[in-house]
Amino acid sequence: MDMQEVDTEQSTALVRHEATAVARVEPMSVEDLITRVKLIEEVKQRVMREGEHYGKIPGTGDKDTLLQPGAQKLGLTFRLHPRFSVTVRELGNGHREYETLCELYNAAGGYEGSCIGSCSTMETRYRFRKAEQKCPECGRDGTVIKGKKEYGGGWLCFGKKGGCGAKFEDGDERIENQDMGRVEHDNPADYWNTAAKMSQKRAYVGGIIMVTGGSDQFTQDVED
């Protein structure tokens, strides 16, 4: 196998070049196809558990969504071995996109198929967080809590959350008129590893569904 490293504007990808002889491959018999389909159904019924290996995800239709543990069970069943190649793209302001190519090989080392999955820190779940109230006195985020009624209510910059201990009356506009929408995370690098793992998972699950022909039983959650 010849491996060549390709660099493009701060991106790195591993590209595999394989010389393979052209050979005639006979189509799978109907009996073998039926056996394969039944095997997937049996694995789902006898091995997999709903909520752990597959589940219903809103917005993905009537089919069960295959989760990573379920994809791994199908990979074991068909003896499929993944090989991953990752391309990293710098998006600016600390944001990154990870694109993963997952190639699946059988137990004999033969190539079966591949799928690409991507994830970036610009996706909503990683880019933004819910705004937290800021203390007007010390300026810290996320330290202000609602005071208990038995202690007079109001607001408190809670010391156990790193606050300064300042107290504010109910109706204090400096607290209650703050914009509580979403704000961008200060450090996208906190989610680099999460995005990398997510791109790998998306590529693997998609590849397993495609190579096994499991799409009549499962779909893939495009968000996960």
Say whether pTM exceeds 0.85. Answer: no
Q: What is the pLDDT of residue 25?
A: 72
Q: What is the pLDDT of residue 224?
A: 62
Q: What is the pLDDT of residue 194?
A: 96
Which of 171, 140, 141, 137 has its CA nearest to residue 154? 171
> Is 4 a residue whose pLDDT tops 50?
no
Helix (H, G, I), strand (E, B) or coil at 44: helix
Number of residues that this document lists for the chain: 224
Record the tokens describing residue 140, joined without a space. Answer: 């810290």
State the pairing for strand pair 64-66/218-219: parallel
Q: What is the pLDDT of residue 20?
A: 53
Ranking 10-14, 92-96, 135-139, 144-148 by mean pLDDT, the lowest is 10-14
**Average of pLDDT values for 4-21?**
46
**Average of pLDDT values for 158-165?**
88
* Cα 135 from Cα 166, distance rounded (Å): 8
> Is 7 a residue whose pLDDT tops 70?
no
* Cα 44 from Cα 141, distance rounded (Å): 47
